Structure 1
Amino acid sequence: MVRFGKASAALSAVLLCICSAAACGGGPESGAAKKLVVWDPIATYGESPKMDKAYRKMIAEIDRRFEAKHPGVQIDHKSFGYDGYPQRIASAVAANAAPDIAWDWADTNWKITLPLDDRLAEQQKKDLTLLDQSVVSAKDGKIHVLPWGTYQGVWVYNKKLFRQVGITVPKTQRDFLGACDALDRKGITPSKVSFGAPNWLNRLDALYAGQLIGDISKWNSQGVSFNGREYKAATGQLMKTFEHRCWGSHPESKGTPGDHEQAFMSGKSAMLFARSSVPLDEARRALGKDNVGVFLQPALPGGKANMDASMGLGASIMSTAKNKDLAWNYISFYTEASQQELAWRAVKQLPNNTRAKLSSADPVWQQLLEWAADRRFHVGAWPVNPEESQAYARMTPDVVTGRMSVDDFLNKVQDAREKTKG
């Protein structure tokens, strides 16, 4: 039977203190049923408690299916909040009490997880998108994270506000800047973003740079530098959006949690950039079903329209896992088309398996499904490693207000990368 539920702080402390390697690492391979211990950081996942519950139910069902396919195997699946999750894993490793499998967003340290390249079948390489997305964070240049599902960085827009100021969906960067000007003249915030909050400037910069890099393998192998031609041109274009007031007043501020989404849902801003799952249903409830549309990031000069395609979640096998082959079978099972079809039906998680047979009578959801399966749009240069993200966070207020030049900014981010190279 699947044991699945939230683990409290008190329980996790006990877990790390008293678990033996056998108890927390999957147990001996002989005698009793084989056990896989699985951790994830998504105790709170969705936009509401209802969606959290649906997501947990869907995960439990996939675990149940795996157990049914592998008699004698028990999945012990524990869910935590994301805050402190990497530190939780590090502490568990130090205490010889790590799980067999850790779900994460490609942040699980490559030094404590197994490379997966040699385990991937040729068919998986053909079917699965986003496979190499974690390579840039691993100094050995190997895949340590098996992606599951697709997050789409696409624009969601308020059709009524667009009509009100007489603009259409922008196709180019020039169109986008013009749309910002038109909205601002009418007193409408184009898109409320507080760049002082984490993971805004680096995400949009990566989105822009991806258009000009084109071949994502160059980025993943660190063959493209932050202070090189592509990233410099992309960052320069992103800085123009601040000149055109695309992000509202005081974009350098830290803002408040959720202010980007709240401004859009309340009709105070015209565009929302979905950094993870696209909140289409929530937006329709707030603004009206027929009043919400989506579009790709408009094309830069010399680029092409794209989206920030990133893994919805990823699974890593810990180096200390007792039954590595079984652990691989488990994370591979999640990527199968039938499990991704279940995830779509349950919580509208977009797939990263191109063999998943999915469609929607809703034209907007159908568009999102088509974009998820089309590798032409998967050219974002995300992710950067934690050290680079920290460098972005430190310097964002200065660069977006013009107190720091683009050249100086990118040189410093490149310095942060150089210090982490193996």
Structure 2
Amino acid sequence: MKKKSIIAVCLAAAMIMSALPGCGSTGGKVTESQEQTSQEEVLQESIPASEDEAVMEQPEKKMTYVTCITPQQSGYISMENIVKMYQEQVNPNFSIDIQYIADKPAYLQKIKTLVASNEAPDMFNLDTDPYAIKLLDQGIVVDLSETLDKYGLKDVFLPAPLGWGTTKDGRQVAMPIDFSIEVFWYNKKMFEEAGVTIPKTHSEFLEVCEKLKNAGYTPISVSGKDNWEILRYLLMVTYRYGENDFLYDLAQGKQKMDSEIGRKAAGFVQELGTKYFQSGFASTDYTGASNYFTGGSAAMYYIGTWDLPFMQDDQLSDDMKGNIGYFLLPTVDEGEPVGKSNFISNSTMPIAFGADKFDSETERFIEFYANHISEATSGLAFSPSVNGTLPNETELTKAIYEDMQKSSGSIKLFDIELDPATNELIGKEVVSLALGDISVDEFCSRVDASIEENAASYFSE
């Protein structure tokens, strides 16, 4: 491979890592010394004597930020950028000690250990899940709503990435880092040759799949190993018919999967899995599913814009260049959907602030962060702010950015809202459902039984 090609591939890989909506992971055995790295963000430049008085007037503030975002991801790099900018423009006496935990399970365990020891970090990544709500209720993390209102920052962010860190009752548990949306990528030539157009409803989507299959194409590429990808198809139905309330109530045992909406969603997944997913999807991993689509073997692939670099012409074979488009979530067949957002949007695991050392200087940093995050993420990822910059200037990127501006809130996810035991069970059972190994009745009853057994004790802890 020529050097130019190697650089292109490396850049694409770096962008993928920067955009994934969660924390990084590393393969192989992780030693204790590898598990955590620490990097303190302190400017090394000496300060001229003429500025000594101004520097002394600035409060000294040293914060600790524990993160599972890898040093290669945009969320880590943008934080480094923000800190340096804040030191240069506002307070040279400010610093953040960034402590990286190498994989998400180890990270989550570390956070829980620190919290249990009354040593919650000043800053750390936190999804808006039941655990986060517990930390809010216990006063361990700060509800940032007052700070956002105080400095007029809610209008700085797009609703969707900001909503990723917002609880159902409107409390702001964390600040967004970047912005991504999930879309259906599709092969334009396959659509044209099969005589189909972009589907608008669930029924039209199934009709498109059938016509693609009849034309000799595999309709959908999906990863069964990364079972959250199949759970998204379940969510496409439950959200449209029940908004986030269906999932909230299901998680708490106030709603049943064995209901009209739940059964409709399960039936949708089973029809797709038994008819339209690629052969061997259950053992296909994330990379395999992506390559299957970008290599021209499937007509559609549902994944987030963190995969955007692989959809760009400079990363595609000649026969795939200019051949990839995208469309948003199909909606209900008749009437108005209850869930109106047309895409799942999220942010890399957002940043929560510990309550113990939260003060006016922390608030001042948050204000600066909100107003400069676009600059800090420039060239790295889509910014969560209203006037954000683009990671590149291709037509595909520009089109996605236009849709991002229409964001109207966040669609909550099965793999975040459910209790851990049910989350593990539904991930396995949804693959079996898609394979046709279990019936819709069995799937619904097993999910409901797990929630009945585990939800009450988990949410009351």
Q: Give TM class, smaller chain.
A: 0.7 to 0.9
Separation of aligned partners in 2, 1:272 and 1:76: 39
Q: Is the contact made by 1:210 and 1:379 (CA closer than 8 Å) also made in structure 2? A: no
Question: Which residue number in structure 1 is paired with residue 349 of structure 2?
Answer: 313
Q: Is the contact made by 1:209 and 1:380 (CA closer than 8 Å) also made in structure 2? A: no
Does residue 59 (structure 1) correspond to residue 79 (structure 2)? The answer is yes
Question: Which residue number in structure 1 is paired with residue 95 of structure 2?
Answer: 74
CA deviation string 1:135-174 (max 9, x = no partner): 56x8x97432222322211111222332333322222222
Question: Which residue number in structure 1 is paired with residue 209 of structure 2?
Answer: 180
Identity of aligned residues (%): 18
CA deviation string 1:350-394 (max 9, x = no partner): 233334477986442222122222134x46232424524223124
Separation of aligned partners in 1, 2:164 and 2:94: 30
Mark the runs of 5 or more structure 2 residues left unpaired by the alignment.
1-24, 39-56
Separation of aligned partners in 1, 2:333 and 2:236: 14
Question: Which residue number in structure 2 is paired with residue 269 of structure 1?
Answer: 298
How much has 1:62 moved relative to structure 2? 1.7
Does residue 86 (structure 1) correspond to residue 108 (structure 2)? The answer is yes
How much has 1:64 moved relative to structure 2? 0.8
Q: Is the contact made by 2:219 and 2:300 (CA closer than 8 Å) also made in structure 1? A: yes
Q: Is the contact made by 1:39 and 1:80 (CA closer than 8 Å) also made in structure 2? A: yes
The worse-fitting range, judged by mean Cα deviation, of 36-45 and 309-318 is: 36-45
SS at match of 1:339: helix
Does residue 286 (structure 1) correspond to residue 316 (structure 2)? The answer is yes
Separation of aligned partners in 1, 2:390 and 2:93: 32
Does residue 384 (structure 1) correspond to residue 422 (structure 2)? The answer is no
**Relative to 1, partners in 2 of residues 1:334 and 1:289: Cα closer, same or farther, differing over 3 Å?**
farther
CA deviation string 1:305-357 (max 9, x = no partner): 7211122330011244x244434443454333x422542x312x223333447
Separation of aligned partners in 2, 1:100 and 1:286: 43
Separation of aligned partners in 2, 1:356 and 1:239: 39
How much has 1:192 moved relative to structure 2? 2.1
**Relative to 1, partners in 2 of residues 1:334 and 1:276: Cα closer, same or farther, differing over 3 Å?**
farther
How much has 1:272 moved relative to structure 2? 1.8
Separation of aligned partners in 2, 1:210 and 1:333: 35
Question: Which residue number in structure 2 is paired with residue 19 of structure 1?
Answer: none
Question: Which residue number in structure 2 is paired with residue 99 of structure 1?
Answer: 121
Q: Is the contact made by 2:81 and 2:376 (CA closer than 8 Å) also made in structure 1? A: no
Q: Is the contact made by 2:222 and 2:230 (CA closer than 8 Å) also made in structure 1? A: no
Question: Which residue number in structure 2 is paired with residue 373 of structure 1?
Answer: 405
**Relative to 1, partners in 2 of residues 1:332 and 1:161: Cα closer, same or farther, differing over 3 Å?**
farther
Q: Is the contact made by 2:75 and 2:177 (CA closer than 8 Å) also made in structure 1? A: no
The amino acid that maps onto 1:178 is: E
SS at match of 2:196: coil
Question: Which residue number in structure 2 is paired with residue 48 of structure 1?
Answer: none
How much has 1:225 moved relative to structure 2? 2.9
Question: Which residue number in structure 2 is paired with residue 165 of structure 1?
Answer: 194
Task: Pick from 230, 238, 241 the counterpart of residue 201 of structure 1.
Answer: 230
SS at match of 1:313: coil
Q: Is the contact made by 1:192 and 1:269 (CA closer than 8 Å) also made in structure 2? A: yes
Question: Which residue number in structure 1 is paired with residue 278 of structure 2?
Answer: 248
CA deviation string 1:225-263 (max 9, x = no partner): 3535444433333333224x2211244x24334221121
The amino acid that maps onto 2:326 is: V
CA deviation string 1:193-228 (max 9, x = no partner): 2334342233332233222234x4776687973535
**Relative to 1, partners in 2 of residues 1:374 and 1:420: Cα closer, same or farther, differing over 3 Å?**
farther
**Relative to 1, partners in 2 of residues 1:333 and 1:419: Cα closer, same or farther, differing over 3 Å?**
farther
Task: Pick from 213, 219, 229 the counterpart of residue 190 of structure 1.
Answer: 219
Separation of aligned partners in 2, 1:256 and 1:359: 26
SS at match of 2:235: helix
Question: Which residue number in structure 2 is paired with residue 225 of structure 1?
Answer: 255
How much has 1:186 moved relative to structure 2? 4.2
Task: Pick from 431, 438, 449 the counterpart of residue 403 of structure 1.
Answer: 438
Separation of aligned partners in 1, 2:202 and 2:430: 22
The amino acid that maps onto 1:403 is: I
TM-score normalised according to structure 2 size: 0.71
Separation of aligned partners in 1, 2:389 and 2:223: 38
How much has 1:184 moved relative to structure 2? 2.6
Question: Which residue number in structure 2 is paired with residue 393 of structure 1?
Answer: 427
Question: Which residue number in structure 2 is paired with residue 235 of structure 1?
Answer: 266
Bigger radius of gyration among the two? 2
Question: Which residue number in structure 2 is paired with residue 3 of structure 1?
Answer: none
SS at match of 1:300: coil
Q: Is the contact made by 2:202 and 2:330 (CA closer than 8 Å) also made in structure 1? A: yes
**Relative to 1, partners in 2 of residues 1:329 and 1:260: Cα closer, same or farther, differing over 3 Å?**
farther
Question: Which residue number in structure 1 is paired with residue 458 of structure 2?
Answer: 420
Mark the runs of 5 or more structure 1 residues left unpaired by the alignment.
1-5, 17-29, 46-51
Separation of aligned partners in 1, 2:165 and 2:187: 34
Question: Which residue number in structure 2 is paired with residue 334 of structure 1?
Answer: 369
Alpha-carbon RMSD across the aligned residues, in angstroms, is 3.7
CA deviation string 1:38-92 (max 9, x = no partner): 12212166xxxxxx4x665443222211223223111222333333221122234
The amino acid that maps onto 1:420 is: Y
Does residue 40 (structure 1) correspond to residue 70 (structure 2)? The answer is no
**Relative to 1, partners in 2 of residues 1:141 and 1:31: Cα closer, same or farther, differing over 3 Å?**
closer
How many residue pairs align between the two structures?
387
Separation of aligned partners in 2, 1:312 and 1:31: 31
